[in-house]
């Protein structure tokens, strides 16, 4: 158990809908990262937050957004969902802003039908 | 961001054999990390090696780092069926974001 908690574990939704994925980082970790893993794209970095502020952006679509709250939990919002958004979404956390080991949650499986 | 690329893409061995997988990267690093992912699960951190280290051990794992060649290798000795998983490297340092390649898929046959 990495200490990173993600909910929900699985969800199925229709195209055009919006979903929110939630992440609680390890106790004491200030950085949260979001990754998307799909068969064709591999493990893609989406976005990082550090202590409530956006720190770095990767291959995140404009339809997707995230935030980190004062209690350090984070949410990833996916809107106008398309079939191609079906993937495993991971949250990870680390103590510092960069250069540290990052610890992954078990992921949220999203299926868009 | 910096990205490691793992090689080979797939590796199939018998239980008891050693498994070696490699990682190459392009820019300077402060550290390099190896992770394991069981099918459909989260990535699990295995080992971190710093740029001033050449070799590191953890149980049956041995990691080497050659910064002049910008490469690292992960050796799993005496493999077990439970080692079946995908293995990823991620480079780190400075203001980097850990980015991952497609991994090496290891299958250990009992």
Q: Is the pLDDT at A97 greater than 70, yes or no? A: yes
The pLDDT > 90 percentage for chain A reads: 83
Q: What is the pLDDT of residue B93?
A: 61
Q: What is the pLDDT of residue B71?
A: 95
Q: Is the pLDDT at A99 greater than 80, yes or no? A: no
Angstrom distance (rounded) from CA A78 to CA B65: 39
Q: Which stretches of chain B score pLDDT less than 50?
A: 1
Beta-carbon separation of B42 and A106 below 8 A: yes
**Token pair for residue A17?**
């809908």
Based on the number of CB atoms within 10 Å of its own CB, is B68 exposed (0-12), middle (13-18) or buried (19 or more)? Answer: exposed
- Mean pLDDT over A97-107 rounds to 86
Contact pairs from chain A to chain B, CB under 8 Å:
62
Among B97, B99, B100, the residue to mutate for chain A (most A Cβ within 10 A): B97
Please tell me if residue B28 touches chain A, with a CB cutoff of 8 Å.
no
- Mean pLDDT over A31-42 rounds to 90
Angstrom distance (rounded) from CA A95 to CA B90: 17
Please tell me if residue B51 touches chain A, with a CB cutoff of 8 Å.
no
Q: What is the pLDDT of residue B1?
A: 46
Chain A residues with CB within 8 Å of chain B CB = 2, 4, 33, 35, 42-43, 45, 48, 56, 58, 88, 90, 92, 97-107, 109
Q: What is the pLDDT of residue A43?
A: 87
Q: What is the pLDDT of residue A91?
A: 97
Chain A residues closer than 8 Å to B35 by CB: 104
Q: What is the pLDDT of residue B95?
A: 61
Angstrom distance (rounded) from CA B24 to CA B88: 11
- Please tell me the distance in Å from B97's CA to the nearest CA on chain A: 7
Q: What is the pLDDT of residue B94?
A: 60
- Is residue B82 helix, strand or coil? helix
For A1-25, write each residue's pLDDT tens digit.
889 999 999 999 999 999 999 999 9
- Mean pLDDT over A93-104 rounds to 85
What mean pLDDT, rounded, does chain A reach? 94
**Token pair for residue B68?**
């002049």
Beta-carbon separation of B97 and A56 below 8 A: yes
């Amino acid at each position: 158990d990495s200490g990173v908690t993600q909910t929900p574990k699985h969800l199925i939704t229709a195209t055009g809908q919006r979903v929110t994925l939630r992440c609680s980082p390890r106790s004491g970790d200030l950085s949260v990262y979001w990754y998307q893993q799909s068969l064709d794209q591999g493990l893609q970095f989406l976005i990082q937050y550090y202590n409530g502020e956006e720190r770095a952006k990767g291959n995140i679509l404009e339809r997707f957004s995230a935030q980190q709250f004062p209690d350090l939990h984070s949410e990833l919002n996916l809107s106008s969902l398309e079939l191609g958004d079906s993937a495993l979404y991971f949250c990870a956390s680390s103590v510092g802003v960069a250069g540290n080991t990052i610890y992954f949650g078990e992921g949220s499986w999203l299926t868009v039908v | 961001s910096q990205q490691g690329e793992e090689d080979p893409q797939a590796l199939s061995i018998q239980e008891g054999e050693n498994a070696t997988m490699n990682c190459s990267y392009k820019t300077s690093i402060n550290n390099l990390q190896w992770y394991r992912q069981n099918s459909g699960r989260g990535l699990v951190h295995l080992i971190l090696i710093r740029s001033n280290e050449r070799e590191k051990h953890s149980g049956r794992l041995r990691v080497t780092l050659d910064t002049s060649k910008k490469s690292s290798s992960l050796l799993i000795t005496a493999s077990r069926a439970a080692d079946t998983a995908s293995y990823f490297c991620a480079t780190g340092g400075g203001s980097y974001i850990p980015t991952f390649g497609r991994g090496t898929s290891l299958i250990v046959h009992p």
